[in-house]
Structure 1
Amino acid sequence: MIECIPNNDTQKRFLLGEGGRKELLAIGLNPSTANEITLDPTSRNIQTIAKNNDCDGWWLVNLYPLRTSNPKKLPKIADKELIEKNQKFIEQLFSNPKYNIHKVLCCWGNSIENHLYLEEQAKIIKNKIVKKLYSIGKTMNGNPYHPAPMTVNRYLGGINNVKLIKYS
């Protein structure tokens, strides 16, 4: 069963996914339309990537929890309270026994470069995670690929060819 925190919130999302014994935690840029009822193409790809890489559960968090399908529409200046709440939420995933995070997938893409606070969040979160980090490949700018269907099909040969590779 898909879990979404918070439920029924069209403005923000801290977590989406479903639990398992070995879970993949994907860190994206910002949430789009997926919720507890309907997954979007990116979250469906993350679900498949988890399954194809030895994980029976998956979770999706983001560098910034504000919902928009166009990252260019994110605010120029981050809401400090929202960003701190998001950081704390992500940190607590690793200490909460409800979650069994086995692998961490960085997958925010090049749109991270549009807002300085997104780059700062990536550094902060990466430094706090003690698990090995993975990506599905890197962009020419060195950012981890975003698992959107277009990227997966164009650069990686389709979702069933996606393998996790070490990311630093």
Structure 2
Amino acid sequence: MDIALKPIVCIPEKDPVKRFLLGKKGKNEFLAVALNPSTANEDTLDPTSRNIEHLAIKNGCDGWYMVNLYPGRTSKPEFLPKEPDPLLVKENIQFIETMLTSNKYNITKVLLCWGNGVDCHNYLKESAKRIRSTIEEQKLPCYHLKLTTAKNPFHPAPTPVNRWLGGIENVKLNPY
């Protein structure tokens, strides 16, 4: 089945406050680890999630998922809380760790893509460290689009991808 026609998976559904997972099921799945969720949901993808879908297809995957360092929804990372909800952080990390170790998912490639927003709050850096550790334990191949000048994995939003990487069609995965 064409990946574009597959139903969108969103956990939880119909929740304007948080999102742990967004994507489309496949047999060979691409996982993107970004900063925080924005507007995409079970009904509609946003420009960043459409870029992730494009990268999945371009790199031989028939499914993809997106998780985040923090599950609180905001279209502006600077609006993330200075102090996170500790229960939300715990639930998010547990969800991602379970996902990475479960045979329910078929993840074959992982794209780290949280951008420089990770440097705004220590809890984001701590989440990145824990998630990377689980990815390494599972021996999953890790990639980035490019590293920022601060050495963070580039975010796949359309504006920076078009401005700094020459558009989504020209983006290549680089080993992390």
TM over 0.5: yes
TM-score between the two structures when normalised by the length of structure 2: 0.93
In the TM superposition, 1:115-154 aligns within 5 A as 115-129=121-135, 130=138, 131-154=140-163
Offset, 1:94? 2.1
2:53 corresponds to which residue?
Answer: 47
Distance 1:64 1:113 in 2: 13
Unaligned regions of 5+ residues in structure 2, if any?
A: 1-6
Task: Work out whether residues 29 and 109 of structure 2, in 8 Å CA contact, stay in contact via their aligned partners in 1.
Answer: yes
Distance 2:108 2:28 in 1: 5
Distance 2:78 2:20 in 1: 19
Offset, 1:152? 1.1
2:3 corresponds to which residue?
Answer: none
Q: Compute the RMSD of aligned alpha carbons.
A: 0.8
Distance 2:133 2:98 in 1: 14
Distance 1:75 1:127 in 2: 24
Distance 1:162 1:22 in 2: 20
Distance 2:12 2:103 in 1: 19
Distance 1:164 1:125 in 2: 19
Offset, 1:33? 0.3
Q: Does 1:69 align with 2:75?
A: yes
Offset, 1:96? 2.5
In the TM superposition, 1:93-112 aligns within 5 A as 93-112=99-118
Q: Deviations over 1:58-113 (max 9, x none)?
A: 00000000000011111111111110110110011123222100001000000111
2:34 corresponds to which residue?
Answer: 28
Equivalenced residues, count: 167
| Corresponding residue SS for 1:17 | strand
1:88 corresponds to which residue?
Answer: 94
1:163 corresponds to which residue?
Answer: 172
TM-score between the two structures when normalised by the length of structure 1: 0.97
| Identity within the alignment, % | 57
| Corresponding residue SS for 2:56 | helix
| Corresponding residue SS for 2:75 | coil
Question: Which letter does structure 1 place at the counterpart of 2:114?
Answer: W
